[in-house]
A and B are shown apart, each in its own frame.
Chain A
Amino acid sequence: MNVGEIPLGVSSLETRHWRNLVEQRVDLHPRLNVLVGRNAQGKTNLLEAMYLLSTGQILRGSKDAEVICWDETEALVRGVLAESETLLEVQLVGGQRKRARINGSALSRISDLLGRLPSVTFSSQDMALVRGDPAERRTFLDTSLSQLYPGYLQHLANYKRALEQRNVLLRAAQEQNVPDDQFEIWEADMAQHGALLRHRRKQYVLDLHGYGGPILCGLEPGESLAIEYEAKDRHADHEALASALSEGRREEIRRGTSLIGPHRDDLALSINGHRTRTFGSQGQQRSVALSLKMASLKVASEVLGLAPLLLLDDVFAELDRFRQSNLLSLAFDHAGQVIMTCTEVDQIAASALALGQVFSVESGQICRA
């Protein structure tokens, strides 16, 4: 952590009817928290509760209703921020929208939580960043940027909405004549918000490459990671995007979908000039995903001037001691509070454990070990 950076974290966390954490209250260590337990005992559920407070979202793969304890109608996660003692609460009621409160005042949108407790997560699901579709990498960029610039989310939502409306018109135009001015009103919004999304993403990826290139978690000596933004068309500013949308319309009507704009862009990851998606061992791919996440941690701390929360789910079992200590020192350099899970406590060096607090997690009960 750099001098002057405010370490972010939660001093005490409470859950009610949140997955198998029926009624839990934990005082967390300001720097390192290690949750030890066998699978399906609840350690990842605690990590997810922290993620919920940070983003207002549920880690992917789950619907709102699935996180509420069986036979209960609502779940609550509540945390006190370590520095400011701000009370953050997220409440889930079956079939309704999630609701958030800050110091007891209700927020009009759940997304207004963003920016209070920025976080970076890493779990085995993040392998999809390397192996998965471009959509996985766009989601990574979008969620990272929403945490740095909460207004980004609004631009993204408006862009997607205008894009959907235009796509409906493109398909309608295959059957009947749709006047140009009906397209233009949606293209105006797409160009305005789209140019902004691209600008933010490009700058962010430059930062990832600049700060993150040197962060090579687990790569071999002589291997260098390149992180580049890959725009599928060259129209960067508002006017260029607007005229490209208008010029491309005829072809897009034929294809029935919008072919120009940031919704098609990708993040190019390569080691020594080879794309990692198709090239590289599983170990290398994991290293690339981890490097990318640690780079995003470093960029977030630089941009925000804060040391973000770091959530690591079952990462250590796959790393040797050297890579573990490398990862831990990166975490201590750039993160505020760190919360990690593992199945066996001896997966982690005793010298590291001495810096924080170990918890055992069994059948939804969390205890200091």
Chain B
Amino acid sequence: MTFTKPLAQLIGHLERLPGVGPKSAQRLAFHILRMPEDDVRRLAESLVAAREQIRLCEICQNVTAQTRCEICSDSRRDSTLICVVGEPKDIAAMERLNEYRGLYHVLHGLLNPMDGVGPDNLKIRELLSRLSGPIEEIIIATNPTVEGDATALYLGRQIKQLGIKVTRLAHGMPVGGELDYADSATLLSALEYRREL
């Protein structure tokens, strides 16, 4: 079935979004056609505004509307401490703790040859260029997956060469969780990374 040109174009653009198949693209397009014209205009404007105004922080590569993000501009934060994460959403998780007072660095992905992601596709050069100033510790907080571990190892080696302390977030049992219901993978890593009392 062929749609009239403006509709076909809209469907085509929606279809290119991640997680949107041809069927849901059609459904979204027809939903947009039924929306009040003002709402559609505001949606379109917010898409353009977000694209125009949101950029990567020049220091930590987090998404921000300024040149420098709020965390990097906050003089009360400890600039000798950098926590390295895979994605911007990981910062939000750490910040909810309200415990960590250092800065961040977002890699925007993990090393993954199968998906064509090598060191040059991540914000690694930007991280290394931050290490010329006074740094106490780099905390690597990539996911506990094969790719997260490989990325941590890659960064760890490069940073250690510069004589800077590098740590990796521990992985193990969820606090307050019951041993009986822990999944085997978590329990196994908790056993491997056990510590002396």
Taking CB atoms, residues of chain B closer than 8 Å to A181 are: 154, 157
Q: Is residue B113 within 8 Å, beta carbon to beta carbon, of the partner chain?
A: yes
Q: What residues of A have a CB within 8 angstroms of the CB of B112 in the complex?
A: 165
In the assembled complex, which residues on chain B have CB atoms less than 8 Å from the CB atom of A109?
Answer: 183-185
- The answer to the question of B128 belonging to the interface, with a C-beta cut-off of 8 Å to chain A, is no
Q: Kindly list chain B residues whose C-beta atoms are within 8 Å of the C-beta of A155.
A: 188
Is A351 in contact with chain B by the CB < 8 A criterion? no
Q: A182 to B146, Cβ gap below 8 A?
A: no
Q: Is the CB of A112 within 8 A of B184?
A: yes
Which residues of chain A from 95 to 129 have any CB-CB distance to chain B below 8 Å in the complex?
105, 107-109, 111-112, 114-115
Residues of B within 8 A of A154 (CB): 184-185, 188
Closest CB-CB distance, A183 to chain B, in whole Å? Answer: 10
Q: Is the CB of A151 within 8 A of B154?
A: no
Q: Mark A181-214, 1 if CB is under 8 A from B, else 0.
A: 1101110110000000000000000000000000
Contact A185 to B114, CB < 8 A, known contacts A111-B184, A150-B184, A151-B188: no
CB neighbours (8 Å) of A257 from chain B are none
| Cβ 8 A contact of A105, one of B181, B188, B191 | B181
Residues in A whose Cβ lies below 8 Å from that of B188? 150-151, 154-155
Tell me the interface secondary structure of chain B in the complex. helix
Contacts of B119 in A (CB 8 A): 182
> Among B118, B146, B187, which residue has its beta carbon within 8 angstroms of that of A161?
B146
The answer to the question of A303 belonging to the interface, with a C-beta cut-off of 8 Å to chain B, is no
Q: Which of these, B114, B147, B185, contacts A168 with CB under 8 Å? A: B114
B184 close to A162 (CB less than 8 A): no
Contacts of A186 in B (CB 8 A): 113, 150
CA distance A61 to B179 in the complex (A): 35
Determine if A251 is an interface residue (Cβ-Cβ < 8 Å).
no
Residues from chain B with Cβ under 8 Å of A168 in the complex:
113-114
Which of A112, A185, A188 touches B111 (beta carbons < 8 Å)? A185
Query: Can you name 6 extra interface pairs (CB under 8 A) apart from A109-B183, A161-B146, A189-B150?
Result: A151-B188, A151-B191, A162-B150, A165-B112, A168-B113, A188-B153
Question: Residues of B with Cβ closer than 8 Å to A?
Answer: 111-114, 118-119, 146-147, 149-151, 153-154, 157, 181, 183-185, 187-188, 191
Interchain residue pairs with CB less than 8 A apart (29): A105-B181, A107-B183, A108-B183, A109-B183, A109-B184, A150-B184, A150-B188, A151-B184, A151-B185, A151-B191, A153-B184, A154-B184, A154-B185, A155-B188, A158-B146, A164-B114, A165-B113, A165-B114, A165-B147, A165-B150, A166-B113, A168-B114, A181-B157, A182-B111, A182-B113, A182-B119, A185-B150, A185-B151, A186-B150
